[in-house]
Amino acid sequence: MTGQQGAGTQSPEIAFGNGDTDEKLIAFVQRFGPVVARCVEDTRLIPDKELGEPRRPGRLIAHQDMQELRNERAIYRAALDLVMQTGEAEFDFDSAQQAIKVIAAGIADWPRQWDREKSQRKMVPMWKLSSESLKRIKELSSARPDPILPPVVGGRIVICELLNSFPSIVFPNLLEMHSSIKYGIRPLLYSILRRQFIYPRSFTACANTQCRNFFNIERAGQQFCCPECSLHHRQRVYWEQRGKKLRKRRSTTRRKKTK
């Protein structure tokens, strides 16, 4: 699914990255599924009180913790921002460091989530953030610019460590594929992030400084996520320029009066 300019639709990674309110996050989960399930109930294994056996067809009921959802969104938005910056001609080291700090703080909870999923699955999850990766990202979050290496290298390392925690896997059938995301679609989100990292410049942040939402680039030179943001930005620039001229004119008039 690709976001359509002006049509109000967004690709999953863009919708999740832009989910800056609980309402948006809940809408995302309702549409795409839980990101990290706290627990999952499989009704296929629970006998119905009336039938004495499980009802068919069964359902998977996933419980998504809101605070974990907010945390995952913060991590993912920072990762999207970092991917976007690594694909730009000019890399902003300070801005990238802020994104890395958010990522480092958020992923500290991933080992606990991995243990929880392993306990509930009764098997080893297909994803895992290694202690070495966590340590490396934490170190980079407080690192200073390297005197030799280009500043973009640290950002690329962080993205690679995140993506390598969710290895690319193919499945022979739908049953195994669905089982891989039984405890949340986070692996799929990072699979999309991998594509964005390998093929950069397919998305960017809105040039309207009062918006800064991500959007899929559909044409060369596109700077705004919607026509409204383009209009608001142009109006603000116009009034800033006009205001500067008016202030200069008033200042000149006051000086003339005091002479």
pTM above 0.75, yes or no: yes
Q: Could you give the CA distance from residue 117 to residue 140 in angstroms, rounded to a whole number?
A: 28
Contacts of 97 (CB under 8 A, 6+ apart): 141, 143
**pLDDT exceeds 70 at position 248:** no
Under the banding of pLDDT at 50, 70 and 90, the label for residue 226 is confident
Q: Could you give the CA distance from residue 111 to residue 153 in angstroms, rounded to a whole number?
A: 25
Q: What pLDDT does 10 receive?
A: 78
User: Token digits for 55?
Assistant: 């009802």
**pLDDT exceeds 90 at position 56:** no
Q: Could you give the CA distance from residue 256 to residue 88 in angstroms, rounded to a whole number?
A: 49
User: For the residues 191-196, what does the mean pLDDT come to?
Assistant: 93
Q: Could you give the CA distance from residue 237 to residue 240 in angstroms, rounded to a whole number?
A: 5
Q: Could you give the CA distance from residue 137 to residue 145 in angstroms, rounded to a whole number?
A: 15
> Between 64 and 252, where is the model more confident?
64
Q: What is the mean pLDDT of the chain?
A: 86
Q: What pLDDT does 209 receive?
A: 81
User: Does 47 sit behind a cis peptide bond, omega within 30 degrees of 0 on the bond before it?
Assistant: no
Q: What pLDDT does 118 receive?
A: 96
Q: Could you give the CA distance from residue 164 to residue 129 in angstroms, rounded to a whole number?
A: 8
N-term to C-term CA, the chain: 67
Under the banding of pLDDT at 50, 70 and 90, the label for residue 82 is very high
Where b means 16+ CB within 10 Å and e means fewer, 221-249 reads eeebbbeebbebbeeeeeeeeeeeeeeee
Closest by CA position to 192, among listed 17, 62, 6, 40 = 17
